[in-house]
Structure 1
Amino acid sequence: MNKYFKSAYLFGVLGGVLGLVSFLVLSIFYEDPTTLNLVFGYVITPVSIYLALRYFKDYFNQGYLSFAEGMSVGFVTYMLLAIISFLGIYVVLAISPDFFELIKENKVQTLIDSRETIVSQVGEASFNATLDSVKEMVNSDVALNDAIWKIIPGLFFTIIISIILRKNPN
C-alpha cells in the first residue's frame, strides 16, 4: 500500500508548499491575493497530479497504471495539496489579522462595485445575503475556499489524467 502513496506524498506536499508560496508572494504585490492564487492553483493542481501519477507509473509500478491506482494516487495528491495550502493560508491570516481585514475589505468593495450587475442577475435579496456573508467572513473561510478550489479541479484532473496515463499489463 505504501508504494501507492510515496509519489502522492511527494508531489502533494510539493504542490501544497507551492500553493502557500504563491499566496505569500502574491500578497506582496496585491492587497487581495486570493483570486490570483486560485488561478495558480488551477495550474499547480493538475501538474502535481500528473507528476505524481507519472512518477508512480514509471518508478513504482513497472510502467503500468490502472484507473483505480490513478484515482487513489491522485486523490491523496490533491487532498495533501489542499490541506497544506489550507493550513498555511490559515496560519498566515491568523498571524496577520490586518492582512485578513484588508482582504475582507477588498471582497466587500468588489461586491459593492458589481452591485448593479449582481442584482440584475440574482436579485436584491441574494445580493444582500452575499454581502452580509462576506462581511461576517473569518480567516478560515478564505483558507477553506482556497482548499475547495484545489479539491474540485483535483478530482476532475485526476479522472482525466488517470485515463490518459492508464496502461494495464496485457
Structure 2
Amino acid sequence: MGKYFQSAYRFGTLGGVLSVVSFLALAWFYGDPTNLNLVFGYIIVPIAIFLTIKFYKDYNNDGYLSFSEGMTVGFVAYMILGLISGLGIWLILSLSPDLFELILDTKLKVLADNKELILGQVGEKSFETTLMSVQAMTPFDVGLNDTLWKIIPGLFFSIIISIILRRNSN
C-alpha cells in the first residue's frame, strides 16, 4: 500500500506547505490574501497532482498507470494539499486576529461598494443573507473555504491527468 501513496504524501505535503507560504507572502504584500491565494491554488494543485501521478507511474509502478491508480494517488495528494493549506490558514488567522479583521473588513467593503450591482443581480434578500454570512465569518470559515477550493478542482485535475498519463500495457 505504501508504494501507492509515497509520491502522494510527498507532493501533497509540498503543495500544502507552498499554499500556506503563499498565503503568508500575499498577506504581507496585500491586505486580503484570500482571493489571490485561490488563484495560486489553481496553479499549485494541478502541478502537485501531475507530479504525484507522474512520479508514481515512473518510479513506483514501472511506467504503467491505470486510471484508478492515477485517481487514487491524485485523491490522496489533493486531500493532503487541501487539508494542510486549510489548517495552516486557519491557524495563521487564529493566531493573527488583526489579519483576520483586515480580511473581514475588506470583504465587507467589497459588499458595500458593490451593493447596487449586487441588489440588481440577486435582490435584497440575497444581499442581506450574504452580508450576514460575511459578518458571521470566522477564521475556520476562511480555512474551510480554502480547503474546498483546493479539493474540488483537485478532483477534476486528477481525472484529466490520470487519463493523459494512463498506460496499461506495452
Q: Pairwise mapping of residues 4-83 of structure 1 onto structure 2 (< 5 A)?
A: 4-83=4-83
Partner of 1:154: 154
Partner of 1:97: 97
Structure 2: gaps of 5 or more residues: none
Give CA-to-partner distance per residue, 1:107-156, whole Å, 9 cap, x none. 01111111111111111100010001100100000011111000010001
Secondary structure at 2:112 match in 1: helix
CA distance in 2, matches of 1:114, 1:46: 33
CA distance in 1, matches of 2:161, 2:76: 14
What is the CA distance between 1:37 and its match in structure 2? 0.2
What amino acid sits opposite 1:57 in the alignment? K
Partner of 2:127: 127
The farther-off stretch of 112-121 and 123-132 is 112-121
Q: Pairwise mapping of residues 108-123 of structure 1 onto structure 2 (< 5 A)?
A: 108-123=108-123
Give CA-to-partner distance per residue, 1:72-119, whole Å, 9 cap, x none. 000000000001001110110011111101100100111111111111
Q: How many residue pairs were aligned?
A: 170
In the alignment, structure 1 residue 164 sits paired with structure 2 residue 164: yes
Secondary structure at 1:106 match in 2: helix
CA distance in 2, matches of 1:116, 1:163: 45
What amino acid sits opposite 2:142 in the alignment? V
CA distance in 2, matches of 1:48, 1:5: 13
CA distance in 2, matches of 1:104, 1:37: 16
Please report the TM-score for the alignment, with normalisation by the length of structure 2. Answer: 0.99
Give CA-to-partner distance per residue, 1:33-63, whole Å, 9 cap, x none. 0000000000000000000000000000000
Please report the TM-score for the alignment, with normalisation by the length of structure 1. Answer: 0.99
Percent of matched pairs sharing the same residue:
63
CA RMSD after TM alignment: 0.6
